[in-house]
Chains A and B, each alone.
Chain A
Amino acid sequence: MAAAHATEWAAVLAATARVAADLDLAEDCVQDAYAKALVHWREQGVPGRPGAWLTTVATRRALEHRRRADVVRRKLPLLIPVEDAVDETFPDDRLRLVFTCCHPALSQEARIALTLRLVCGLSSAEIARVFLVKEATMQARITRAKQKISRTGIPYRIPRLTDLPERIDAVLDVIHLVYTAGYTANDTASRRGLDLARMIRLLLPESSEAAGLLALLLLTEARRPAQVDGQLVLMEDQDRSLWDHALIAEALELVPGAVGPAGRFGLMAAIAAVHAEAARWEDTDWPEILGLYDVLLAKWPSPVVALNRVVALSYVAGPAAALEQLPDDPALATYPYLASTRAELLRRLGRTQEARAAYEEALAFTTNPTEADFLQKRAQL
């Protein structure tokens, strides 16, 4: 039953939403179908295609509701379009659901919350725990987002071709954020992020960026076992035999098709792949990594990428050269990784006092307890 929830939820809800033309009603019907399954499947065994069983029960219920609702004319506007036609290029209903949840007219926070709720089937309480907010706050955020969808007429369909690349980027961004939100704080979210990345890769086989994102997340996930007892361990100090080599192999197969000048996630995956291919830290091909960061920075200039590039530079040209190129961007003023990177560079230059002060500074800006713990230890080195 739990397996059916995890694997079938998105497809069942996506198909039901098309028939229900209302996300709330669709959710109710799907929950209802799962409740019925609990009884039926225990008595009569799990059907051959549990997803199809659930979809049939949920959509039938949705149709009943709509028939009744047509009598008592609903005040709430419906999801559009209400049609049973299937998109021939993108036959899977889950894509409609994902694109609707990640619509650019919704705030980034709302997109993440809706995706976790509607595509992954997490409860408001579970999502609230990931983002460390009160359940009521999360519930309100989800309700507001659903209302914006129905009241402004955000369509329940695949975007038109001209909008598609931009809309795919928006979806991938949300999945990336879901994964990273969970990385140090809560692994439910990162597991869901990885599931979503696999799903979107399957649904958009032509998108090299979807491949890039999946590869990036697999490579990041592969290193997780080297984080001892939930403590942060620098890649430099990680025991590489603990890395998940099955995940790495899966990712490395995706990377060649994902890397291109137009792919942000593809480039990030390529960088992670260079790390994964080094048997030891000392074997890391830093010039290759620096070159990839140069491309990334030229195309998507961001202070965070600039900062990561400086780290690569420090292993090519030395920490002194890197220190001079640390980004001096007001956007990073309270970004703990800027201070911690400066601290590392100073430590490598033997400027221990200054390094300690920089670690303290980083400590002041971090809100994550795992990271704070890590910085505390570095500051005492």
Chain B
Amino acid sequence: MGKYLVMIYDDEAKWAADDGSVAEQNHKNHQAFVEANGSTVRGGGQLDGSETATSIRSDGNGGYVVTDGVFAETKEVMGGYYVIEAADLDEALAIAKQVPSPMGGVEVRPLVNGG
């Protein structure tokens, strides 16, 4: 058994173009996903938009540089996540395939030492 982080990556421009109907259905789909996979879902949440992101980089001299914005600029940004528990990658991928991500997709990564 190990824990995997499922990161949901979305194209925010597509969400901005939505009249609310996709978002509403998506919300229901997430609830259904969590219900269907109850015991394997160990945590998760929806992130606020990338415009709310603040990044902190170490300056290499014991100090920090705080900047507005996401850590890496890409078209798709992380919009939410789940922590799931699975026996192996095949099982983790089978669960991750059910994660609703209508405006993008998901990335799956194991937590080191089983989390």
Find out whether the CB atom of B87 lies under 8 angstroms from the CB atom of A105: no
Contact residues, B78-108 vs A (CB, 8 A): 86-90, 92-94
Place the interface of chain B in its size category.
10 to 19
Cβ contacts under 8 Å, B92 to chain A: 153
What total of A-B pairs shows CB separation below 8 Å? 34
Let me know if A91 is at the binding interface, CB within 8 A.
Answer: no
Alpha-carbon separation in the docked complex, A103 to B93 (Å): 12
Interface size on A, residues (CB 8 A): 13
Let me know if A225 is at the binding interface, CB within 8 A.
Answer: no
Cβ contacts under 8 Å, B114 to chain A: 77
Let me know if A159 is at the binding interface, CB within 8 A.
Answer: yes
Alpha-carbon separation in the docked complex, A81 to B87 (Å): 8
Q: How far is the CB of A163 from chain B (nearest CB, A)?
A: 7
Q: How far is the CB of B105 from chain A (nearest CB, A)?
A: 14
Find out whether the CB atom of B93 lies under 8 angstroms from the CB atom of A153: no
Find out whether the CB atom of A154 lies under 8 angstroms from the CB atom of B88: yes
Cβ contacts under 8 Å, B109 to chain A: 152
Find out whether the CB atom of B110 lies under 8 angstroms from the CB atom of A80: no
Question: Per a CB cutoff under 8 Å, which of B2, B86, B90 touches A163?
Answer: B90
Cβ contacts under 8 Å, B86 to chain A: 153
Find out whether the CB atom of B87 lies under 8 angstroms from the CB atom of A155: yes
Find out whether the CB atom of A152 lies under 8 angstroms from the CB atom of B89: yes
Let me know if A49 is at the binding interface, CB within 8 A.
Answer: no
Find out whether the CB atom of A105 lies under 8 angstroms from the CB atom of B88: no
Let me know if A151 is at the binding interface, CB within 8 A.
Answer: yes
Find out whether the CB atom of B90 lies under 8 angstroms from the CB atom of A155: yes
Let me know if A160 is at the binding interface, CB within 8 A.
Answer: yes
Alpha-carbon separation in the docked complex, A159 to B93 (Å): 12
Cβ contacts under 8 Å, A163 to chain B: 90, 94
Find out whether the CB atom of B110 lies under 8 angstroms from the CB atom of A160: no
Alpha-carbon separation in the docked complex, A155 to B92 (Å): 11
Find out whether the CB atom of A154 lies under 8 angstroms from the CB atom of B89: yes
Contact residues, B47-89 vs A (CB, 8 A): 86-89
Contact residues, A157-184 vs B (CB, 8 A): 159-160, 163
Find out whether the CB atom of A155 lies under 8 angstroms from the CB atom of B110: no
The verdict on A160 contacting B90 (CB below 8 Å), with A153-B2, A153-B110 known, is yes
Question: Per a CB cutoff under 8 Å, which of A77, A81, A105 touches B93?
Answer: A105
Interface of B with A (CB < 8 Å)?
A: 2, 86-90, 92-94, 109-110, 112-114
> What are 6 A-B pairs at a CB distance below 8 A?
A81-B88, A105-B89, A151-B110, A152-B89, A154-B90, A163-B90
